[in-house]
Structure 1
Amino acid sequence: MMNATSKTTAAAAILLPITLLVLLLGVIAAEPRTTCATPLGTSAGGPTGQTVAGLTEAQLRLARDGVVIGKQRRMPESVIIAELAAQGVESGFRNLANPSVPESLSYPNDGLSHDHDSVGPHQLRAGVWGSVGIAKLMDPAYQINWFYDRAEQSGAAAQQLSPAELAQHIEQSAPNAYAGQIELARELYQRFADIDPRTTSSASAGAAPRGCGSGAGSVLSPAEASTFGRTVIEHASRWIGTPYVWGGGDINGPTGGGVDCSGLTLYAIYHASGGRIRLPHYTQAQQDDPSAVVVPFAQRAPGDLIFFTSPGDTDSHHVGIYLGPDEQGRDLLLHAPQSGQTVTTTLLSGFAGERMDVRRYEIRDRAGAS
C-alpha cells in the first residue's frame, strides 16, 4: 500500500493536467477566436419587409447586408452610410456579372456590367482584386467586407471624412460622385439600423481573416466549359432582367417586350454558333433538333441546355442553360421562368421531380459530320 505522502503526490500528478485542461478550456471559451473558417461579417437571409420607391427586393437585400455586416463589424454609422452610398453609385445595389469576365456569368447575379472587368456591388476590377478567385468577387458579402476592410485601413480618416468623401477615398471614382446618394444611403441605414446583427442568419460567407488563403473551393465555371458553352452563356446572360413574354424572342433578341424559355435558348445557340444553328421556337423541337447531342446528366457542362418534362408527359415544357455549380456545389440554371418574372439564374434543385434531359449542340456540315 502507498503511504500518505505517496498518495498525495499521486493525486497531485493526476489533478495537475486536469486543472490545466479546465483552465485552457476556460480561456478558449472566454476569448472567441477568428479563424480562416470564421467570416468577418455575413449577410442576412430572408425578406427585408421594407419598401423603398425605386428599389427592388433584391436591391434592398444588398442594402440591408451593407448595414448588417457593418454593424457586425462595429463600424460607425458614417462608415456604413459611406458603404451604402458606394454601392448605390457603383452598381445601383446590384451584384453585377460582366461578359469580359466570363467566369462571373456562372454565379447568381442581378444583371451585367460592361465597365472594363468590374464585377459585383462595388464593381471590383477582376484584374486588380481577382487573386482571391471569382467565387469571392461575385459574393456580395465579400465585396461589402472589402469596403469595410479599406475603411479600417484608413484609420482615423474613416471617421474624419464625410460619408461621401470616405466613399470617394476608398473607391477612387470621380470626385463628388457619391454625394448624390447620401440621402438615400441615410434612409436605407435608418430602415435597417434596428436589426440585431447577432440574430441574423448567415446566408453567405463573408471575407476571411487576413492571412487566410483564398478558399475559393472547387467551382465548375464556364472557364471549364468549351468555348461554345461559354459563348452560349455570354449571349444568354445579356438578357438577364428581361421580362418573360410567352412566345417572345427570336434570333435578334426579345420580341413583344421580352422572351420565353425557348426564345432565350434559340437566341443564345444561334449567336454562339455564328448563325449556323437556328433552333425552332419550341422546347421539344429544340431537344430533338439534328444539331443536338444527347449528353448523360452526370456529364453535363456549362452551356448545355437542360429540358424539363413533367411526370407522365412525353414532351418537354421548359428549357434553360446550365451554368455549373455554385460555391456550395449547387447546380445553377439560367432561364426565362414564367409570366410575371424575368430572365434570371436559379437553383436546378427547384425542378426536382421533373425529368431532365441534357443536350449539347454541335455545328455539322451538310453530310452530318461535326
Structure 2
Amino acid sequence: MLLIVFVAVIVGATSMSSCATAVSGSGLQSATRVQVDGLTEAQLQLARNGVAIGKQRGEPEAVILAELAAQATESTLRNLANPAVPDSLNYSNDGLGYDGDSVGPHQLRASVWGSVGIATLMNPTYQINWFYDQADRIPARDRMAPADVAQAVEVAKVNAYAGQMDLARNLYAKFANLDPASLSTAQAGQPAIGCGLNGAGMLLPGASSDFGSAIIAAAQKWIGTPYVWGGGDQNGPTDGGFDCSGLTLYALYQASGGRLRLPHFTQAQQDHPAAQVVPFDQRQPGDLIFFTSSGESSSHHVAIYYGRNDQGQDLVLHAPQSGQTVTIAPLWHGDRLDVRRYSIPADSGVGSHD
C-alpha cells in the first residue's frame, strides 16, 4: 500500500502528460508482415521498433541486439501496465506486470523515471529511446558483448540477457534491411509513435464498461494489420489480416474469454441474441456500430466505437477496406448507424456456433 501511494505522488501530477518528450528515433507503426514462432504481431512491432529506432540513431548492431534482448527478458516484448501504478492502466498495454512499480517494455520504475509523466513512460517508443540513451553513456560499450550492454543499462540483479540472444539475433535479421533514410524522425516537441490516437501506449477511452474496454484492448493490438476480405477468426488474423466483421468477432471472443463468438457476417452480428439495441446518443466505447446504406436492409460494415478525442469528435476502431489497415478513424455519417452493446453469455454454449 505504501508503494502505491508513493508512486501516485511521483506520477500523478503528470499522468495526463502530452507525451511530447523529444525522442531521437520515432519508429514505425505499420504491420510487420513477418512471422516468428511464438510471437504476436504486437510483440513483433515492438521488436521492429527496437531495430528501426536503433538504425535511426546510428546505433551499432551489438547495441541493437542488446536492446532486443533486454525487451525480451524484461517484458517478453510487451508494453506492460502495472496495478501498483494505477495510472498506467489507463493506457493501451499488452498485459499486466507485477515487478514493483515497473512499467513498459523495459520495465522502467515509475518512482525512478516517472518525472516525464505516465503518458510518456507508457510510450514504448520513449522506452526504446531511453535504452539507447543509457547505452550511449557507457564508455566501453563497443568492446562489450550485447548481453553485457543490456545488463549495464538495466542493472538487473542477475544478468539473464544472454538467454535471449538467439531470439534477439533472429529478430534483428528479420528487420535488418530497414533503411534509416526512409524512416521519418520525430521533431523536437512532436509526439512520438504511441502518443495520441494510434499505437501501443495510447490513452484509453473513458466511460466504458469493463467488457467494452476489453473489446477495445483486444482489437487495438492489431492496428496496422492489413484488411483482408473474409479475414480473421476468434484466434486472430487469417490469410494475413482481418475484414471488418472478422475483427469484431475476434475482439468480442477474446474479451469474453471465449464465451461469445459472433458469426462472420455484419448483419448476423447485429441480430445476434447477445446484442442489445442502444440509442445512438447512449453509445459507449466498446459498442459496435453497424453501417447500412440507404434503401438497404442489411448492414455492410461494422466498427468498434472507440470514444471521443479531445475535440469531441467520435472515433471508431475498425478494419476499413481493401488496401487499408486496422486503424482508429473519425466516425463518418451518411449511412444509417445502428449501435449494439453485447453481454457475455452466462452459458458458454450461447453464441458458440457460426
TM beyond 0.5: yes
Once the two structures are TM-superposed, the CA of residue 147 in structure 1 deviates from its matched residue by 1.0
- Which residue, 26, 51, 54 being the options, matches 1:67? 51
For 1:233 and 1:126, locate their aligned partners in 2 and report how far apart those are by CA, in whole Å: 28
Q: Which runs of 5+ in 1 are unaligned?
A: 1-35, 247-258, 271-277, 338-343, 363-370
1:104 aligns with 2:91: yes
Aligned to 1:162: 145
Aligned to 1:295: 280
Question: Measured at CA, do residues 284 and 71 of structure 1 come closer, stay the same or move farther in structure 2, by a change above 3 Å?
Answer: closer
For 1:132 and 1:358, locate their aligned partners in 2 and report how far apart those are by CA, in whole Å: 39
1:89 aligns with 2:73: yes
Aligned to 1:179: 162
For 1:77 and 1:126, locate their aligned partners in 2 and report how far apart those are by CA, in whole Å: 29
Contact 2:56/2:183, CA 8 A, preserved across alignment: no
For 1:142 and 1:82, locate their aligned partners in 2 and report how far apart those are by CA, in whole Å: 17
SS at match of 1:306: strand
SS at match of 1:41: coil
Once the two structures are TM-superposed, the CA of residue 180 in structure 1 deviates from its matched residue by 0.9
Aligned to 1:146: 130
Once the two structures are TM-superposed, the CA of residue 53 in structure 1 deviates from its matched residue by 4.7
Q: Percent of pairs identical after alignment? A: 46
Once the two structures are TM-superposed, the CA of residue 321 in structure 1 deviates from its matched residue by 4.1
Query: For structure 1, which segment, 259-268 or 90-99, has the greater mean C-alpha deviation from structure 2 after superposition?
Result: 259-268
Once the two structures are TM-superposed, the CA of residue 40 in structure 1 deviates from its matched residue by 1.0
Flag the structure with higher helix content. Answer: 1
Contact 1:323/1:334, CA 8 A, preserved across alignment: no
SS at match of 2:279: strand
- Which residue, 279, 284, 288 being the options, matches 2:270? 284
1:122 aligns with 2:106: yes
The one-letter code matched in structure 2 to 1:295 is: F
Per-residue CA deviation, residues 65-105 of structure 1 (Å, 9 max, x unaligned), is: 22221222232332211101112223333445667633113
For 1:62 and 1:268, locate their aligned partners in 2 and report how far apart those are by CA, in whole Å: 23
Contact 1:112/1:237, CA 8 A, preserved across alignment: no
For 1:74 and 1:295, locate their aligned partners in 2 and report how far apart those are by CA, in whole Å: 50
Aligned to 1:17: none
Once the two structures are TM-superposed, the CA of residue 145 in structure 1 deviates from its matched residue by 0.6
Contact 2:285/2:307, CA 8 A, preserved across alignment: yes
Computed over aligned residues only, the root mean square deviation of the Cα atoms, in angstroms, reads 5.3
Aligned residues: 288
- Which residue, 192, 200, 211 being the options, matches 1:232? 211
Bigger CA radius of gyration: 1
Per-residue CA deviation, residues 196-241 of structure 1 (Å, 9 max, x unaligned), is: 3122245xx58869xx9xx96699944x623xx1523444367567
TM-score using structure 2 length = 0.58
Question: Measured at CA, do residues 141 and 266 of structure 1 come closer, stay the same or move farther in structure 2, by a change above 3 Å?
Answer: closer
For 2:42 and 2:49, locate their aligned partners in 1 and report how far apart those are by CA, in whole Å: 11
Question: Measured at CA, do residues 310 and 141 of structure 1 come closer, stay the same or move farther in structure 2, by a change above 3 Å?
Answer: farther
Q: Which runs of 5+ in 2 are unaligned?
A: 1-19, 223-230, 235-245, 344-354
Aligned to 2:226: none
For 2:60 and 2:49, locate their aligned partners in 1 and report how far apart those are by CA, in whole Å: 15
For 1:38 and 1:266, locate their aligned partners in 2 and report how far apart those are by CA, in whole Å: 38
The one-letter code matched in structure 2 to 1:74 is: G
